[in-house]
Amino acid sequence: MKNFSLLLIGLFALFSCQKEERKTIEITEEITKTIEIERDDTVKTQIPTGDTSQNALDWNGTYKGTLPCADCEGIETELTLNLDGTYLYKATYLGKDTKVYEIEAPFQWDETGSMITLLEMEDTPGKYQVGENQLWHLDRNGKLIEGDLADRYILKKQ
pLDDT-derived band at 16, boundaries 50, 70, 90: low
Mean per-residue pLDDT for 59-74? Answer: 95
Per-residue model confidence (pLDDT) at position 39: 46
State the DSSP H helix or E strand holding residue 154, giving kind and residue range, or none if neither. strand 154-157
Q: What average pLDDT does the structure give for the chain?
A: 80
89 with 119: CB under 8 angstroms? no
Helix (H) or strand (E) holding 104: strand 100-109
- pLDDT tens-digit series, residues 76-129: 999 999 999 999 999 999 998 889 999 999 999 999 999 999 999 987 779 999
- Domains of the chain, by residue range, sit at 34-157
Determine contact, residues 81/87, Cβ cutoff 8 Å: yes
Q: Whole-model pTM?
A: 0.68
CATH class of 34-157: mainly beta
